[in-house]
């Protein structure tokens, strides 16, 4: 019953947003769900069969909306306290909660400890263990211990090393250090919660006003504190320029289809490419596996499969090299591309052709080599056989693709932190009253 209600609620909210053209890029299922989701006063111990059923019901609703709207939404699962993350997400995976994209963490040093390097290590271990991107979706420290209303404040201390008592400079410097720690360990972003919860005449069951006015980005006159925490958004963070998708290894062979394959850049690729809407293909390399055939002038064409044949599909890039199939095993051939723009989670074809522009048929293992049918490539084999986690598992691992997260013309331009810190719409399943109660 509850699983159906979660599905219906999630589906209805997203359907309403879709009708207004407002579908979010991220959907967070639940909020700080360390315990049982939607369990009232009995969050522990976690009932993992129940937890799995409810989470997967909500996730199914998101994916059904994706299908209906021809898009891909990043699903975030979110718990509090980085020190609990390896256990929680390990149990989630063991219990069948796997169809999500981002591990979201709350990190409040007053409650979770003040060791930023340990947070960075946790981010790295989560990425490696679960092949997911990691984001700090809630962080905050105060800039003062003063009050501006009658509601008790929740935060009242800074981590050690930031000047002792809360201060504007301490808030700013801690946030800058946090962003750098996350970035250095390939996390994809930091979201401050909540920069605008200033004092008002609104009431909770705990008091009139805000429980957070001393931890916002505004002074008690509601003026933005220009030299305060907001400056963490102004950092010049070096972007992830290049990353390799797959690596040529000994024993890789052409035999699964030199002619061409379908491939799909994945948003949760490992290493993490960050989050622009695009990646830019710089080069593709292929390892010689020892097949016979002699030297062949080879062109590698990249298509967007917009039609049923290559002739009716869109050719978007091309590179030329000479392939000697008599060369020594493990000879690597590289095809250069000039930052060819590719969309994440869109399918492309890499087609080998001869000098005359005909798809090559080298007489290897697959009968469709040399075909002009898009369908046969889309149903084909393993050179570009990305797994559900991104780039990491190819059946022969005989290729690599080097991509960039920065457009070629921008590679020498300073890119601000805003290029990888995101604003997102978070679909949550909690009430404001519960949130206040939880943190007070």
Mean pLDDT over 264-290 rounds to 60
Query: Where does residue 277 rank: exposed (0-12), middle (13-18), buried (19+ CB within 10 A)?
Result: exposed
Judgement on whether residues 206 and 71 belong to the same structural domain of the protein = yes
Going by pLDDT thresholds of 50, 70 and 90, the confidence category of residue 234 is: confident
Judgement on whether residues 341 and 428 belong to the same structural domain of the protein = no
Q: How many domains, the chain? A: 2
**Nearest C-alpha neighbor of 81 from the set 138, 24, 41, 133:** 138
Listed in sequence order, the DSSP H helices in 147-215 are 168-184
**Nearest C-alpha neighbor of 195 from the set 152, 233, 150:** 233
Indicate which CATH number applies to the domain containing 275. Answer: 2.60.120
Mean pLDDT over 80-89 rounds to 97
Which listed residue (5, 20, 25, 32) is catalytic? 32
- CA atoms of 96 and 98, how far apart (whole Å): 6
Judgement on whether residues 302 and 328 belong to the same structural domain of the protein = yes
Per residue in 314-341, pLDDT (tens digit) is: 899 999 887 665 666 667 778 888 888 8
- CA atoms of 6 and 1, how far apart (whole Å): 9
Is 138 assigned a catalytic role?
A: yes
Residue 272 has pLDDT above 50, yes or no: no
Contact yes or no for 77/51 (Cβ under 8 A): no
Q: Residue 403's beta-bridge partner residues?
A: 243, 281
Neighbouring CB atoms inside 10 A of 300's CB total: 21
Judgement on whether residues 30 and 178 belong to the same structural domain of the protein = yes
Going by pLDDT thresholds of 50, 70 and 90, the confidence category of residue 158 is: very high
CA 45 to chain CA centroid, nearest Å: 30
Judgement on whether residues 291 and 383 belong to the same structural domain of the protein = yes
pTM of the model: 0.69
Judgement on whether residues 309 and 369 belong to the same structural domain of the protein = yes
pLDDT at 249: 35
CA 314 to chain CA centroid, nearest Å: 28
Of 64-73, 133-142, 247-256, the poorest mean pLDDT is in 247-256
Judgement on whether residues 168 and 125 belong to the same structural domain of the protein = yes
Judgement on whether residues 82 and 200 belong to the same structural domain of the protein = yes
Is 93 assigned a catalytic role?
A: no
Go through 313-338 and write b for each residue having 16 or more CB atoms within 10 A of its CB, e for each that does not.
beebbbbebebebebeeebebebebe
- CA atoms of 432 and 340, how far apart (whole Å): 46
Judgement on whether residues 34 and 140 belong to the same structural domain of the protein = yes
Q: Which domain holds residue 344?
A: 242-413
Mean pLDDT over 253-271 rounds to 48
Judgement on whether residues 321 and 302 belong to the same structural domain of the protein = yes
Judgement on whether residues 261 and 345 belong to the same structural domain of the protein = yes
Q: What is the CA radius of gyration of the chain?
A: 25
Which listed residue (5, 138, 369, 379) is catalytic? 138
DSSP reduced 3-state for 30: coil
Judgement on whether residues 96 and 183 belong to the same structural domain of the protein = yes
Of 108-117, 141-150, 216-225, 289-298, the poorest mean pLDDT is in 289-298
Helix (H), strand (E) at residue 129? helix 116-130
Per residue in 386-430, pLDDT (tens digit) is: 333 333 333 344 556 666 666 654 433 332 332 223 322 333 332
Indicate which CATH number applies to the domain containing 167. Answer: 3.20.20.80
Q: Give the whole-number percent of the chain exceeding pLDDT 70.
A: 67
């Amino acid at each position: 019953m509850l699983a159906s209600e979660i599905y219906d609620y999630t589906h209805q909210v997203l359907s309403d947003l879709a009708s207004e053209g407002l579908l979010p890029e991220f959907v967070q299922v639940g909020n700080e769900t360390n315990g049982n989701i939607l369990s009232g006063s009995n969050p522990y111990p976690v009932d993992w069969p129940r937890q799995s059923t409810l989470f997967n019901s909500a996730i199914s609703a998101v994916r059904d909306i994706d299908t209906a709207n021809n898009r891909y939404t990043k699903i975030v699962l979110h718990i509090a306290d980085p020190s609990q993350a390896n256990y929680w997400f390990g149990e989630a995976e063991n219990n069948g909660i796997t169809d999500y994209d981002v591990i979201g963490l709350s990190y409040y040093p007053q409650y979770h400890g003040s060791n930023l390097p340990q947070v960075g290590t946790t981010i790295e271990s989560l990425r490696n263990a679960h092949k997911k991107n990691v984001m700090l979706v809630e962080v905050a420290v105060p800039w003062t211990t003063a009050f501006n209303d009658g509601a008790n404040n929740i935060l009242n201390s800074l981590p050690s090393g930031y000047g002792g008592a809360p201060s504007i400079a301490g808030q700013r410097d801690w946030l800058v250090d946090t962003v750098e720690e996350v970035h250095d360990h390939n996390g994809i972003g930091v979201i401050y919660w909540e920069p605008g919860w200033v004092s008002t005449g609104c009431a909770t069951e705990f008091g009139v006003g805000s429980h957070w006015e001393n931890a916002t980005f505004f002074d008690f006159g509601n003026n933005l504190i220009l030299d305060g925490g907001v400056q963490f958004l102004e950092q010049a963070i070096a972007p992830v320029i290049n990353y390799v998708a797959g690596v040529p290894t000994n024993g890789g062979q052409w035999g699964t289809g030199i002619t061409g394959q379908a491939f799909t850049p994945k948003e949760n690729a490992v290493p993490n490419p960050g989050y622009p809407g695009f990646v830019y293909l710089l080069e593709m390399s292929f390892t010689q596996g020892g097949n016979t055939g002699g030297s062949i002038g080879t062109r590698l064409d990249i298509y967007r499969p917009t039609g049923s044949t290559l002739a009716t599909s869109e050719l978007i890039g091309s590179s030329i090299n000479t392939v000697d199939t008599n060369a020594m095993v493990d000879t690597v051939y590289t095809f250069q591309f000039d930052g060819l723009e590719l969309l994440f989670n869109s399918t492309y074809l890499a087609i080998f052709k001869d000098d005359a522009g005909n798809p090559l048929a080298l007489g290897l293992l697959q009968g469709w080599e040399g075909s002009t049918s898009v369908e046969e490539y889309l149903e084909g084999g393993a050179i570009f056989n990305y797994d559900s986690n991104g780039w990491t598992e190819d059946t022969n691992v005989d290729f690599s693709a080097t991509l960039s997260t920065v457009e070629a013309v921008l590679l020498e331009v300073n890119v601000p932190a805003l290029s990888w810190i995101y604003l997102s719409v978070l679909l949550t399943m909690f009430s404001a009253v519960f949130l206040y109660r939880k943190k007070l």
